Chains A and B, each alone.
Chain A
């Protein structure tokens, strides 16, 4: 958790109890069986991959197949013609893109369809939207691994998934406070839950044996200055996450703040790795976001209406 927000968060008995509950992760679903093998397999060099192996991995989970096909037919992932089998989708889109799709669907599968009395669609949209922004941002500033940026963007808020499952009512209070005050969600979580989704996400990620770069992003995307490893990836996700939140792809409410991206801590960190960031046209990138927001809403809306 961001030390600054931690100082403001009273560690009440209730918060301590919630924190303990979160650390135990008892009610959290286990990592989808297909997720880790798929991520690991598709990190291999392309020449070592076998198409049939990828198809088999995805096809293990029937609900995943339906969602993957729906996503594979979206322009966000380069639909060239309608595909109706995973085999056809892998051939049409390539293995890397199918990894992005399959992992996205696995993560979206993790979200409860209804948490307490509110609709978690906004969190689905933020995760998918942030992944896409990370990938495009990485390409534009010539970050060496846009695929990794996509994964990191997709998983950065996995702590929120835990909150939705384990402490849905308290989390709803945090969201309501954030909304009323127009503040960042992690700040409201710190007050209500005594922890935030970075801290919870780190516990989830470690339990799932995620790689160290993803763990760094999950744990430090709201405190880039405090990140001790993989700082460029943490910074990239932190800036993309903020851009999403300021552009209507946040957590379903506007944050009443003014952001200057070139003054954000992540900017100077990322600039060291990506000099192209110096002349980056933030305005144009922001306007470009408009185009696929509609598609993200449509895709996630379709998932939410038809969860199985």
Chain B
């Protein structure tokens, strides 16, 4: 991974003032956006500073400026960027992680797909959760679509393809057992309808599992990636941030090839493809963004 020096000017909505954030922190924020494509808005700067603090403690670095050197000019800067990204995204995996994104997918994207003349011949919906980690995202999608089955998706079939690089994560997915932290956003309605309590764990019901197929896939494995065609929607959240630019472009190209015309790609919260790919067009949905496949 090549880590470049951040050259973009600090950008913020608040006016310059004596209480302005530390310029080095802004530089780190911009560096993360430039290298990984994930943005920390001003209201998350305190959190970013705290996460940097954890890494500074681990490295025994006393100033943010010195830590910035660890991210830019020290020999291990690429590995350190990965460590910092891990700190930033830690604990994010849970059911119903990004509700505005799910709402936008349901109310706008699904509505478009169901109404599309091209889908009239075969009323089947295919969604790919790429980099599904321990399975919370694909199971959330399965529950959401099951809820839509009697109404928006009446007369439709659907499947969720879920892939991850890590064999142990895939085993966790298949088992489908989750503790409190993962299920903290699950409402009583969904808990009662789609889970079974077993000890201090919640187990995903077979009805939800039946709609999801899990497999281990390395996103840089071209033959495996090429086999995942015909997707209406792809979700790939907080995964591409760990890839260097060339690898990112390679993966995005596969996503493009695997999506049906006008298919949607959803990334993680505050994650962007700016400067990575021109074959997708950024679209705004209610309180969410996505990328739409541009036709060649």
Residue ranges of A at the interface with B (Cβ–Cβ < 8 Å): 75-81, 97, 132, 136, 140, 182, 243, 246-248, 254-262, 281-284, 286-292, 294-295
How distant is the Cα of A246 from the Cα of B270 in the complex, in angstroms? Answer: 15
Residue ranges of B at the interface with A (Cβ–Cβ < 8 Å): 11-19, 33, 39, 41-44, 100, 103, 107-109, 111-112, 270, 272-274, 281-287, 289, 292
Which A-chain residue is minimally distant from B38 (CB atoms)?
A287
Picked from A75, A261, A281, the residue with its CB within 8 Å of the CB of B19 is: A75
Q: Which residues of A contact B11 (CB under 8 A)?
A: 140, 284, 288
Q: Are A288 and B289 in contact (CB under 8 A)?
A: no
A-B contact pairs, 17 of them (CB 8 A): A75-B17, A76-B13, A76-B15, A80-B17, A81-B18, A136-B13, A182-B107, A246-B284, A247-B287, A248-B286, A260-B283, A281-B274, A282-B284, A283-B273, A288-B42, A289-B41, A291-B13
Q: Which residues of A contact B289 (CB under 8 A)?
A: 283, 286
Which A-chain residue is minimally distant from B285 (CB atoms)?
A258
Looking at A79, A136, A247, A286, the one whose CB has the most chain B CB atoms below 10 A away is A286
Whether A246 contacts B281 in the complex (CB less than 8 A), given A75-B14, A283-B272, A288-B39, comes out as: no
Picked from B15, B270, B281, the residue with its CB within 8 Å of the CB of A260 is: B281
Which A-chain residue is minimally distant from B107 (CB atoms)?
A256
> In the complex, what's the smallest C-beta–C-beta distance from B14 to chain A, in angstroms?
4
Q: Which residues of A contact B14 (CB under 8 A)?
A: 75-76, 78, 291-292, 295
Q: Are B15 and A292 in contact (CB under 8 A)?
A: no
> In the complex, what's the smallest C-beta–C-beta distance from B241 to chain A, in angstroms?
14
Whether A243 contacts B284 in the complex (CB less than 8 A), given A81-B18, A257-B108, comes out as: yes
Q: Are B286 and A290 in contact (CB under 8 A)?
A: no
> In the complex, what's the smallest C-beta–C-beta distance from B235 to chain A, in angstroms?
16
Q: Are A290 and B43 in contact (CB under 8 A)?
A: yes
Which B-chain residue is minimally distant from A77 (CB atoms)?
B15
Looking at B283, B285, B286, the one whose CB has the most chain A CB atoms below 10 A away is B286
Having A75-B19, A259-B284, one finds 6 other A-B pairs with CB under 8 Å, namely A77-B15, A246-B287, A254-B287, A256-B108, A260-B283, A287-B41
Looking at A243, A256, A261, A289, the one whose CB has the most chain B CB atoms below 10 A away is A256
Q: Are B284 and A247 in contact (CB under 8 A)?
A: yes
Which A-chain residue is minimally distant from B15 (CB atoms)?
A78
Q: Which residues of B contact A282 (CB under 8 A)?
A: 282, 284
Q: Which residues of B contact A254 (CB under 8 A)?
A: 103, 107, 286-287
> In the complex, what's the smallest C-beta–C-beta distance from B15 to chain A, in angstroms?
3
Picked from A78, A258, A288, the residue with its CB within 8 Å of the CB of B108 is: A258
Q: Are B284 and A286 in contact (CB under 8 A)?
A: yes
Looking at A259, A261, A283, A289, the one whose CB has the most chain B CB atoms below 10 A away is A283
> In the complex, what's the smallest C-beta–C-beta distance from B149 to chain A, in angstroms?
20
Q: Are B12 and A246 in contact (CB under 8 A)?
A: no
Q: Are B284 and A291 in contact (CB under 8 A)?
A: no
How distant is the Cα of A246 from the Cα of B285 in the complex, in angstroms? Answer: 6
Which B-chain residue is minimally distant from A280 (CB atoms)?
B274
Q: Which residues of A contact B284 (CB under 8 A)?
A: 243, 246-247, 258-261, 282, 286
How distant is the Cα of A234 from the Cα of B11 in the complex, in angstroms? Answer: 24
How distant is the Cα of A97 from the Cα of B15 in the complex, in angstroms? Answer: 10
Q: Which residues of B contact A281 (CB under 8 A)?
A: 272, 274
Q: Are B287 and A284 in contact (CB under 8 A)?
A: no
Q: Are A291 and B43 in contact (CB under 8 A)?
A: yes
Closest A-B pairs by Cβ, 10 of them = A78-B15, A291-B42, A254-B286, A283-B272, A291-B41, A292-B13, A287-B39, A246-B284, A75-B14, A291-B43
> In the complex, what's the smallest C-beta–C-beta distance from B255 to chain A, in angstroms?
16
How distant is the Cα of A254 from the Cα of B108 in the complex, in angstroms? Answer: 11
Q: Which residues of A contact B103 (CB under 8 A)?
A: 254
Q: Are B107 and A290 in contact (CB under 8 A)?
A: no
How distant is the Cα of A80 from the Cα of B18 in the complex, in angstroms? Answer: 5
How distant is the Cα of A255 from the Cα of B18 in the complex, in angstroms? Answer: 38
How distant is the Cα of A97 from the Cα of B16 in the complex, in angstroms? Answer: 12
Which A-chain residue is minimally distant from B13 (CB atoms)?
A292
How distant is the Cα of A291 from the Cα of B44 in the complex, in angstroms? Answer: 8
How distant is the Cα of A146 from the Cα of B190 in the complex, in angstroms? Answer: 48
Whether A289 contacts B13 in the complex (CB less than 8 A), given A258-B283, A281-B274, A284-B33, comes out as: yes
Looking at B281, B283, B292, the one whose CB has the most chain A CB atoms below 10 A away is B283
Which A-chain residue is minimally distant from B274 (CB atoms)?
A281
Which B-chain residue is minimally distant from A139 (CB atoms)?
B11
Q: Which residues of A contact B111 (CB under 8 A)?
A: 256
Q: Are B281 and A79 in contact (CB under 8 A)?
A: no
Q: Are B282 and A294 in contact (CB under 8 A)?
A: no
How distant is the Cα of A81 from the Cα of B17 in the complex, in angstroms? Answer: 9
Which B-chain residue is minimally distant from A243 (CB atoms)?
B284
Whether A246 contacts B286 in the complex (CB less than 8 A), given A283-B272, A291-B13, comes out as: yes
Q: Which residues of B contact A80 (CB under 8 A)?
A: 17-19
How distant is the Cα of A291 from the Cα of B20 in the complex, in angstroms? Answer: 13
How distant is the Cα of A295 from the Cα of B41 in the complex, in angstroms? Answer: 13
Q: Are B286 and A294 in contact (CB under 8 A)?
A: no
Q: Which residues of A contact B12 (CB under 8 A)?
A: 288, 291
Q: Which residues of A contact B19 (CB under 8 A)?
A: 75, 79-80
Looking at B18, B111, B287, the one whose CB has the most chain A CB atoms below 10 A away is B287
Which B-chain residue is minimally distant from A286 (CB atoms)?
B289
Q: Which residues of B contact A255 (CB under 8 A)?
A: 286
How distant is the Cα of A140 from the Cα of B9 in the complex, in angstroms? Answer: 11
